[in-house]
Amino acid sequence: MEKRDRICNALATAGLRPNIPDGAYYVLADISGLPGKNSKERAMYLLRKTGVACVPGEAFYHDDSGEDLARFCFAKDDPVLDKACRRLESLHAK
């Protein structure tokens, strides 16, 4: 839960509203506020701006339900997760 809370707080600070999971090692977040026509373009924008990779939400849906979402994995070592969180939080400052 600690790692989940850390990534969710970082996503929220970045303006990417997380859907907080009850039990998983990943979180879906709303990335609709980022530039791009779809979740793939938005995920690539996030990677270019922050160096943090995510999986476009469209990869998990058969319809367009995932267009505004991206999946972030938080099953990482603490130093890696901390670095990702700092990078995500910097997005809000830009």
Residue 94 lies in a domain: no
61 versus 4: the higher-pLDDT residue is 4
DSSP class of residue 23? Answer: S
Q: How does the average pLDDT of the chain come out, rounded?
A: 93
A 10 A CB-CB count for 48 gives 8
What total number of domains does the chain contain?
A: 1
Task: Note whether residue 25 is domain-resident.
Answer: yes
CATH code (residue 47):
3.90.1150.10
Structural domain for 77, as ranges: 2-87
In a domain, 80, yes or no: yes
pLDDT tens digits, one per residue of 16-62? 999 998 888 999 999 999 999 999 999 999 999 999 999 999 888 88
- Examine residue 93 and state whether it is found in any structural domain, yes or no: no
Rounded Cα distance between 85 and 19, Å, is 16
